[in-house]
Structure 1
Amino acid sequence: MQKNTLKGLVLTRHAIYRHGRLLLQYFIKTADGPAIIEVEQFDVICFCKQIDSEFILSHFSTGIRIEPVSLKNFNYEDVSCVYVKSTTMLKQVLRIANDAGIEIYEADIRPEQRFLIERFIALQAEFAINAPLSQPPYNTDNHPSTHTYLASKARRTEVNVPVSMVSLDFECSPTGELYSVGLYGSHSALNEETDLYQKVIMVGESESIDNKKFDSDKLSDDDIHWVSDEVSLIKALITWFKEYDPDVIIGWAVVTFDLALLYKRCQIHQIALLIGRDEQALTWKVEDKYRPETLSLPGRVVLDGIDWIKAAFYQFERYSLEHVSQHLLNEGKAIDHVENRGQEICHLFEHNKQALAFYNLTDCRLVWDIFKKTQLLAFALERAKLTGLEFGRVGASVAAFNNLYLPHLHRSGFVAPARAASNGLESPGGYVMDSIPGFYKDVLVLDFKSLYPSIIRTFLIDPKSLVEAKFNPLEDDVDGFLEAKFNRHNAILPGLIASLSLQREKAKQDNDKPLSQAIKIIMNSLYGVLGSKGCVFHDAKLASSITMRGHQIMKQTKVWIEELGYTVIYGDTDSTFVWLGEKHQIKDINKLGEQLAHDMTVKWQQRCLDEYALTSHLELEFESHFSQFVMPTLRGSEAGSKKRYVGASKDAEGQLSLTFKGMEQVRSDWSPLARRIQYHLYFLLFSNGDVKSYLNEQLEQLALGQFDNELIFRKRLKRHVEEYTAKSSPHVKAAIRLCQITGDKNKGRRGALIEYRMTLNGAQPITAVNESIDYDYYIEKQIKPIAEPVLALLGEGFDSLSSHQIMLI
């Protein structure tokens, strides 16, 4: 039969067993809709040394074969490929090998993953179809059905198909009983012109919408599907999934809360949760571990907003939906008392279900709008295209490195090592120069563009090249650090970085921010992976050849800049801070910054060519010009601090803009009051304002209780409160007291956000309303430490403030 092909995005990938045979199953999204691809007659693969083959075979009578291959391990020993029929048998091989001290290579690569990465397939794939296996595209209920196809081959391709997405959110009682589920989405999530869909499935008696009840005109009768009870809600939702059939589900804590709750309620009612494609069930790979990495939902991708907003390097003091949506959208939840939303939700369910439906839908829409504003779906898609990680998988830098590196390594004649090679040796961290503290005018910041990836690319740092130079040394090998040498021919990692760099430059030219950000994160993670003990390629010689070369580059750059008559007052990993001097006559400072960056780049090109016969990919960029700059001292010392500074520059409209690094202003363990005051102190310092008058005014208002809402500390418990051995931490003390006041032990569980103030009785939760605030604590421990460095620059001291003196009387 003539083979046809099918192109699509690989949404989920699975290894299943049918009639005792391993089957690879891929749910893909094509231009014509979803489909299932099945690949039969596939073995689970790993590798062993050829000399160990007979020993392993002697323990099995069937189900395994071992064949020599033209590959070597990192000790230049010949290896064989081990083929077994199941992951259960693989575990037996690993047990036998471990007991005998035999190394097994690449046993952690899952078969459904290996099939794709060996073919350089990430997200976009084209499968050679042998035969369709399924029924026509609609089943007897007139619901869309997913075609199943048998395939034998696949290759990488480029394909863009519309992705349907829904934002999902449950409202429930304090005991977890489901009240309603909100659904808000589109059949083409990346197309802004596509009509949006909204629906709430609500427990209750049918009633017509009266928007006057809840001050809204955004809800109609068709938007609410009324059901009689929780069981009917769940069944209606399962039916909805069959009909609407979304590719992607998003939400806020949608895995750890919403889907976990839905699963638990289905268990209580003994309902099969068939919301995956092809009517497959939602399951968890590890019992009672409701995490994104343990979720299995065939054919659908789940993106948790909290995880992905962090993955895209957005930073917030808190990651509640209310806090993030207020910051990004200037809009919050459709409820009056967010802090008591549990009680208000119960009240609405009893007395105003229409308002609850609107609240439920608003939460869904806020998540949708956050994803749209930050382009998180596009970012997740681009990350999957680049790394070969499952679409929707967060983190997993080591797995991403393996996906990128292994197919090239195999074609170069090697298998990955069985374990890291460092044997206790560790590489130093990034270069941090001793700073020269002070208050400066005109400081330039010069940054090396992607310093560590550029070092890898320039000096040909690569696991395979390290091994080749060790066992087959050549005269032109490149010196690294810790006696490392690198073969300069056909290095893998530098080539991967070169390809990523070209893609990023094109993404910038095309203004494709999601792709540019995804590439940046991947490139910067490569050093971290090589420096991680969890990576089998980890070797201190590799990591040190990156970081120690970085030290060398930063120190030499400082020498070259100071030879021109400027002063380098600080350096940090890849940034150099250059003071132009007190009496400089430079009119166009930005032009000087560009020239300095260019000159240093040229010097490194010449140095690499002259000393190493290498092409330099080191590029220094002019990052910013601070018209005023403060490098503080360490507290109680005259030595300069590190990773802490404040700079003032002009924005596009000529307004003063402040940049804080490592200061209390950017640290969540300081009160909002301290951070606000610190910002204004430096703003006044840089704009010649009256610092002392401002501080006196703030201290007076503090004593009058006008800032009580800014005295709240917020910190999460990293473990259950009873597991803390030292109870001295303020947030732990507050958590213990909160559990006592409320009688709710869940308030002290790991991950709980503790909000507290410092009172005359120590740290107390904000619910302890009768406690007197310890204003002296906030003055001495919060305001004084941030005010003294500014006052010292003006030749003043904190004790000279009139308000402070009055408070001491």
Structure 2
Amino acid sequence: MNSSLSEQQVIKGRVLTRHAVNRQGSLILQYFVQTEAGPVTVEIPHQEHVCFIHTSDEFRLLQSTDLRGVRCSTLALKSFQNIPVSGLYCGDARQLRTLVRAARDLDIELFESDVKTEHRFLIERLIALDAEFQGQFQEPSTQSPQVIAPVSDLAPAKRQPLFIANRARRTESTIRLRAISLDFECSFSGELYSVGLYGQTLDGIVYQKVIMVGEPEETEQGYIEWVANEFELIMRLIAWFNEYDPDIIIGWSVVTFDLALLYRRAKYHNIALNIGRDNHPLSWKVEDKFRPETLSLPGRVVLDGIDWLKAAFYQFERYSLEFVSQVLLDEGKAIHNVDNRMDEINSLFLNDKPALAHYNLTDSRLVWDIFEKTQLFDFVIERAKLTGLELGRVGASVAAFNNLYLPHLHRAGFVAPSKPVSDGIESPGGYVMDSVPGLYRHILVLDFKSLYPSIIRTFLIDPKGLVQGLNQLLNQGQDETVPGFLGARFSREKPILPMLIKKLSEERESAKKHLDAPLSQAIKIIMNSLYGVLGSRGCVFHDARLASSITMRGHEIMKQTRRWIESEGYEVIYGDTDSTFVWLGNDFDPAKVLQTGKALAKKVNQLWGDKLSNEFDLESFLELEFETHFEQFFMPTLRGSIEGSKKRYVGTKRNNLGDSELIFKGMEQVRSDWSPLARRIQYELYDRLFQQQDVESYLREIVDKLNRGDLDNELVFTKQLRRDLEEYTAKSAPHLKAARKLCDATGDSQYGKRGARIEYVMTLNGAEPVLYTSALIDYNYYLSRQLEPIAEPILTILKTTFNKVTTNQMSLI
């Protein structure tokens, strides 16, 4: 760029979206940034796509085909094979694809060829969400002369000048982003009726609007804007995006349904859907694949409520907006019949459009309130700041690992491997101890805090460290390295992954101290994903020696911890990955439980500290904590066996209010594929067991009511189709049979589409939809397949069987 230093300006902001574009034969990195003064498009000109090659392979590749324009440079870097590498630089994406294809044909390794240039530019500078760019302002017309515009002159939604940058660096920002919750209502065929828009300004003022197709009506609802038809609705929405100019769009299935529907309807009307910043269109990287990862909307971030609740580890029985909003907000959709809402929506559009607008806006508001209630906005921001992932990108654990790891790896003189090195040897999973089944009082649960991250940090487990450790073992002897498993040795010299774990751990402790729940949760999820990434074949750093050195060390730690606890005179009845279940004895003094739990954890931590210092000369970051006291506890046997089960138990403990509550783990109570009756009865049975109430007479009473038909309303199964009905390979599942019958009975194929909720009961003719049953309910099915399995573990403890308890009732069927 031809400019003097005095003409340079600096802008600070949050990077919303990232792009690599080719313009007039030049690669330009394009970043849409929100600043204090408004949105700015930052462009970094004259860039190149980068990958790496062993220097010894350079000549053979470049001479093999027409790769003119590919630049090559020797670097002070080497591969994990300790072979020097060179950098290959391409001016456009086509050259890079040709280069990759040629290398593959010649069986030549290329390194990091899949790292996108627009991401590499930021992560190499340790830039995540917040950045500072230095450069010049310029009018966005290529025919206009270059114009310097002071930052203070920028106005949101009115002027979005290009900012031609020549430098970028990491910075901190508190810029708040403007969001909108969007929801469409439509006909059965997908024709748009209305769009609801709900949000809050940065000052906390509520914003609400519904753009509705129809003749203007006098209503008390000042938020309705009327348009003549679907075409005008889409055109008005495009104009609205330019006026309101949101940074973030949220919704419920907002990508796969709302934006996909908008795109299809705009395409039908031949409308350019320019709702991105700088008049960019909404588009999809893969035609007709309407997924978050294929969406392109420059300058705006799209967040789907379902995906982000799952990313933040919220778990619900169902992820419909109605169900989640009822659980979190104690409020549901503004409609009478949620399950058959399409009929009611059509009726409202024909007869009561203001009521439809209220329903539409309520859905938008519910999504907004869920984001606020769960602090998802903050979680999304913190995750992007921590990982360097593009704001709004959900999942992508491998990409997050690469973003964190690669810049430090390069600074250490290495490039990433081209592919995983494991040859089929897989690491074992977490350690699960054989359980001792039975009914207990006073069970302590002692948990290792972030066990796998702690093992990585303590034993210096690191991809680079493994390469260096094996080399040191050859040259210096094993005393200089830390032993792992499957022949692994780890260098003690500046390991990267333990350093990252240390930093994340410190940031999490700070977040917990300052009660910053979204940041704490984001860090926890990232830390716990690091082992999963190393154990995944989708990660180029995957090596069975790395993953096994974590999991097998975990096995060793759990076994040794058990021995130490039992040497104190207590029995360990179960252990799972990082949790140890300790039986204090049924007559143990309840007043001493807390003191005993903390003392045991402290003792074990001290023993680990001493052991690791003496045997490995390592500092221990293993931290056992007293986590839970179950006043009563039941560990069942495997069905039809005397062997103890795993990952299944139920117990009672005191909650924060001091009240006793039942906790189920891995039992039918927490599974959605059991009937409401089975789950209710299971809860009642264990509640009675722990309170020493009569179980057998209660069970006989339930069986009697079931046979009389008094409990029919609790026999309905509810299952959601995860894909379209015709896409299922196994056709015999009950909910699939019910869905097919429902489609046939109604003539409506929507019941066979992905996301449809199927309600059915088991009859003498098998599974049938609730509204179209033709046979009597099969009560024997519910007795033998629902009630008996949940009752049998308890009845075994009581030394009886389900058949003995229910003999009289069974004979009545």
Shorter chain as denominator, the TM-score bin is: over 0.9
Q: Which residue of 2 aligns with 1:441?
A: 441
Q: Which residue of 2 aligns with 1:429?
A: 429
Q: How does 1:274-313 map to 2 (within 5 A)?
A: 274-313=274-313
Q: Is the 8 A contact 2:157 2:245 kept in 1?
A: no
For residue 725 of structure 1, report the CA deviation from its aligned partner.
4.3
Q: How does 1:43-122 map to 2 (within 5 A)?
A: 43-58=48-63, 59-60=65-66, 62-122=68-128
For residue 726 of structure 1, report the CA deviation from its aligned partner.
3.9
Q: Which residue of 2 aligns with 1:215?
A: none
Q: Tell me, in whole angstroms, the C-alpha distance in 1 between the residues paired with 2:656 and 2:348.
A: 47
Decide whether aligned partners of structure 1 residues 689 and 586 sit closer, same or farther in structure 2, where only a CA change above 3 A counts: closer
Decide whether aligned partners of structure 1 residues 142 and 449 sit closer, same or farther in structure 2, where only a CA change above 3 A counts: closer
Decide whether aligned partners of structure 1 residues 513 and 620 sit closer, same or farther in structure 2, where only a CA change above 3 A counts: same
Q: Which moved more, 1:730-739 or 1:172-181?
A: 730-739
Q: Tell me, in whole angstroms, the C-alpha distance in 2 between the residues paired with 1:159 and 1:599.
A: 44
Three-state SS of the structure 2 residue aligned to 1:511 is coil
Q: Which residue of 2 aligns with 1:768?
A: 772
Q: Tell me, in whole angstroms, the C-alpha distance in 2 between the residues paired with 1:176 and 1:295.
A: 20
Q: How does 1:251-330 map to 2 (within 5 A)?
A: 251-330=251-330
> Quick one: which of 187, 196, 199 aligns to 2:201?
187
Three-state SS of the structure 1 residue aligned to 2:82 is coil
For residue 579 of structure 1, report the CA deviation from its aligned partner.
0.3
Q: Which moved more, 1:728-737 or 1:367-376?
A: 728-737
Q: Tell me, in whole angstroms, the C-alpha distance in 2 between the residues paired with 1:414 and 1:787.
A: 59
Q: Which moved more, 1:58-67 or 1:392-401?
A: 58-67
Q: Which residue of 2 aligns with 1:214?
A: none
Three-state SS of the structure 1 residue aligned to 2:398 is helix
Three-state SS of the structure 2 residue aligned to 1:772 is coil
TM-score normalised over the length of structure 1:
0.96
Deviations 1:667-725 (A, max 9, x none): 12211211111111111111222322332332233233333332222333444433444
Three-state SS of the structure 1 residue aligned to 2:22 is strand
Q: Is the 8 A contact 2:178 2:201 kept in 1?
A: yes
Three-state SS of the structure 2 residue aligned to 1:41 is strand
Amino acid at match of 1:545: S
Q: Tell me, in whole angstroms, the C-alpha distance in 2 between the residues paired with 1:247 and 1:391.
A: 11
Q: Which residue of 2 aligns with 1:694?
A: 698
Decide whether aligned partners of structure 1 residues 430 and 389 sit closer, same or farther in structure 2, where only a CA change above 3 A counts: same
Decide whether aligned partners of structure 1 residues 77 and 106 sit closer, same or farther in structure 2, where only a CA change above 3 A counts: same
Q: How does 1:673-752 map to 2 (within 5 A)?
A: 673-752=677-756
* Alignment of 1:791 onto 2:805: no
Decide whether aligned partners of structure 1 residues 269 and 586 sit closer, same or farther in structure 2, where only a CA change above 3 A counts: closer
Q: Tell me, in whole angstroms, the C-alpha distance in 1 between the residues paired with 2:724 and 2:67.
A: 50
Q: Which residue of 1 aligns with 2:782?
A: 778
* Alignment of 1:203 onto 2:207: no
Deviations 1:582-620 (A, max 9, x none): 443463201111111111111111111011000000000
**RMSD, matched Cα:** 1.8
> Quick one: which of 176, 184, 196 aligns to 2:190?
176
For residue 765 of structure 1, report the CA deviation from its aligned partner.
1.9
Q: Is the 8 A contact 1:699 1:804 kept in 2?
A: no
Deviations 1:453-507 (A, max 9, x none): 0000000000000001122334320000001000011000000000000000000
Q: Which residue of 1 aligns with 2:138?
A: 132
* Alignment of 1:370 onto 2:380: no
> Quick one: which of 9, 12, 19 aligns to 1:4?
9
Q: Which residue of 2 aligns with 1:538?
A: 542
Amino acid at match of 1:20: G
Q: Tell me, in whole angstroms, the C-alpha distance in 2 between the residues paired with 1:652 and 1:582.
A: 23
Deviations 1:557-599 (A, max 9, x none): 0000000000000000000000012443463201111111111
Q: Which residue of 2 aligns with 1:602?
A: 606
Amino acid at match of 2:334: A
Q: Is the 8 A contact 1:200 1:225 kept in 2?
A: yes
Decide whether aligned partners of structure 1 residues 234 and 725 sit closer, same or farther in structure 2, where only a CA change above 3 A counts: closer
Q: Tell me, in whole angstroms, the C-alpha distance in 1 between the residues paired with 2:811 and 2:606.
A: 60
> Quick one: which of 640, 656, 661 aligns to 2:665?
661
Q: Which residue of 1 aligns with 2:412?
A: 412
Q: Is the 8 A contact 2:254 2:304 kept in 1?
A: yes
Q: Tell me, in whole angstroms, the C-alpha distance in 2 between the residues paired with 1:643 and 1:252.
A: 33
Q: Is the 8 A contact 1:665 1:679 kept in 2?
A: yes
Q: Which moved more, 1:490-499 or 1:648-657?
A: 648-657
Decide whether aligned partners of structure 1 residues 696 and 446 sit closer, same or farther in structure 2, where only a CA change above 3 A counts: same
Three-state SS of the structure 2 residue aligned to 1:201 is strand
Amino acid at match of 2:672: S
Moved runs in structure 1, 4+ residues, more than 6 A? 135-142
Aligned residues: 795
Decide whether aligned partners of structure 1 residues 140 and 310 sit closer, same or farther in structure 2, where only a CA change above 3 A counts: closer
Decide whether aligned partners of structure 1 residues 380 and 763 sit closer, same or farther in structure 2, where only a CA change above 3 A counts: same
For residue 61 of structure 1, report the CA deviation from its aligned partner.
5.5
Decide whether aligned partners of structure 1 residues 677 and 65 sit closer, same or farther in structure 2, where only a CA change above 3 A counts: same
Amino acid at match of 2:192: L
Q: Tell me, in whole angstroms, the C-alpha distance in 2 between the residues paired with 1:612 and 1:138.
A: 59
> Quick one: which of 38, 43, 50 aligns to 1:38?
43
Q: Tell me, in whole angstroms, the C-alpha distance in 2 between the residues paired with 1:383 and 1:677.
A: 41
Q: Is the 8 A contact 2:37 2:154 kept in 1?
A: no
Deviations 1:598-656 (A, max 9, x none): 11111111111011000000000000000100000000000000000001112233322
Q: How does 1:497-508 map to 2 (within 5 A)?
A: 497-508=501-512
Could you list the runs of 5+ residues in structure 1 that have no partner in the other structure?
211-219
Q: Which residue of 1 aligns with 2:522?
A: 518
Q: Is the 8 A contact 2:136 2:164 kept in 1?
A: yes
Q: Which residue of 1 aligns with 2:159?
A: 145
Q: Is the 8 A contact 2:38 2:157 kept in 1?
A: no
Deviations 1:408-434 (A, max 9, x none): 000000000000000111000000000
TM-score normalised over the length of structure 2:
0.95
For residue 553 of structure 1, report the CA deviation from its aligned partner.
0.1
Q: Is the 8 A contact 2:440 2:632 kept in 1?
A: yes
Three-state SS of the structure 2 residue aligned to 1:96 is helix
Q: Which moved more, 1:332-341 or 1:730-739?
A: 730-739
Q: Tell me, in whole angstroms, the C-alpha distance in 1 between the residues paired with 2:25 and 2:184.
A: 39
Q: Tell me, in whole angstroms, the C-alpha distance in 2 between the residues paired with 1:687 and 1:582.
A: 15
Q: Tell me, in whole angstroms, the C-alpha distance in 2 between the residues paired with 1:743 and 1:307.
A: 32
Amino acid at match of 2:347: H
Q: Which residue of 1 aligns with 2:464?
A: 464
* Alignment of 1:637 onto 2:647: no
Could you list the runs of 5+ residues in structure 2 that have no partner in the other structure?
141-146
Q: Tell me, in whole angstroms, the C-alpha distance in 1 between the residues paired with 2:156 and 2:663.
A: 59
Q: Is the 8 A contact 1:138 1:145 kept in 2?
A: no
Q: Tell me, in whole angstroms, the C-alpha distance in 2 between the residues paired with 1:317 and 1:37.
A: 44
Q: Is the 8 A contact 1:76 1:471 kept in 2?
A: no
> Quick one: which of 24, 33, 43 aligns to 1:19?
24
Deviations 1:134-185 (A, max 9, x none): 4879999995222210001111110011211100000000001100000001
Q: Is the 8 A contact 1:138 1:144 kept in 2?
A: no
Q: Tell me, in whole angstroms, the C-alpha distance in 2 between the residues paired with 1:104 and 1:630.
A: 56
Q: Which moved more, 1:55-64 or 1:508-517?
A: 55-64
Amino acid at match of 2:268: I
Q: Is the 8 A contact 1:57 1:66 kept in 2?
A: no
Decide whether aligned partners of structure 1 residues 159 and 88 sit closer, same or farther in structure 2, where only a CA change above 3 A counts: same
Amino acid at match of 1:773: I
Q: Which moved more, 1:697-706 or 1:771-780?
A: 697-706
